Amino acid sequence: MLPPRTSPTANTPERFVSNRYGGRASGHPAAGVTVTLEAASADSWRELARGTTDADGRIDVSPKGDPPGFVHVIDEVTIALPERPGNRRADGYLNVLQQPGVGTLFVVPGRGDTLRINGRATIVADADYFDAMAVDGKRPILALEIDVAEVFFHCPKAFLRSDAWKPETWDPTALPSTAQIAQTIRKGADLAELEDYYREDNQRKLLY
């Protein structure tokens, strides 16, 4: 059993801090960072969300996803995450150009614990490892290299409270469809066309 956390920076066995930027907490040595970065590149973890901020402190958290094992470990404190075609807003990348701090959240479907990696990011247009991150023969359009400042595992309480991994609690039809929501935003848009566009089989054609 872990002792109660008495403050946001209390030491816990699952926290590893590289101290490259002074570190918010005195955690385990940087060697532990290497171990957990290797874990992040394993075939189980999926990135769920990535948080960034702009120069004025406005926050953006974007959903992310790629096949398991997509994290490329460059060295003991640096990883690269591929960027795939999306909604073309590029909010997170615009933020990184202003303020490089980034936080990422990784999950293993069915498990409650999560892996969090925080650090400073750099946008890369090409690198020798891009070929290794290709999916269906398509290289990433960009990559985000993260100079890792902190890595730690998060307890499962949030997922236990939400029952997020229990299919019997899921009800995707409780909300309007994506097409219906889009139609309320795009006044005058044809619902049938939107439904066709947002069909899963059509969206899967646009992933890479």
Instruction: Indicate if 24 and 48 belong to the same structural domain.
Output: yes
170-186, pLDDT tens digit by residue? 999 999 999 999 999 99
The per-residue pLDDT for 16 is 53
Pairing mode, if any, of strands 101-107 and 114-124?
A: antiparallel
- The model's pTM is 0.80
Q: Is 165 exposed, middle or buried (0-12, 13-18, 19+ CB in 10 A)?
A: middle
The whole-chain average pLDDT of the chain stands at 83
Range of the domain at 71: 15-161
Q: What pLDDT, on a 0 to 100 scale, did the predictor assign at position 70? A: 86
Q: Are residues 152 and 175 in the same domain?
A: no
Q: What are phi and psi of 125, to 5 degrees?
A: -85, -25
Distance separating alpha carbons of residues 120 and 173, to the nearest angstrom: 39
Q: 120: buried, middle or exposed (CB in 10 Å: 19+, 13-18, 0-12)?
A: middle
Contact indicator for 54, 94 with CB cutoff of 8 Å: yes
Q: Are residues 33 and 99 in the same domain?
A: yes
Mean pLDDT of 8-21: 48
**Same domain as 139, residue 49:** yes
* Mean pLDDT across 36-62: 83
Q: Are residues 56 and 127 in the same domain?
A: yes
Domain count, the chain: 2
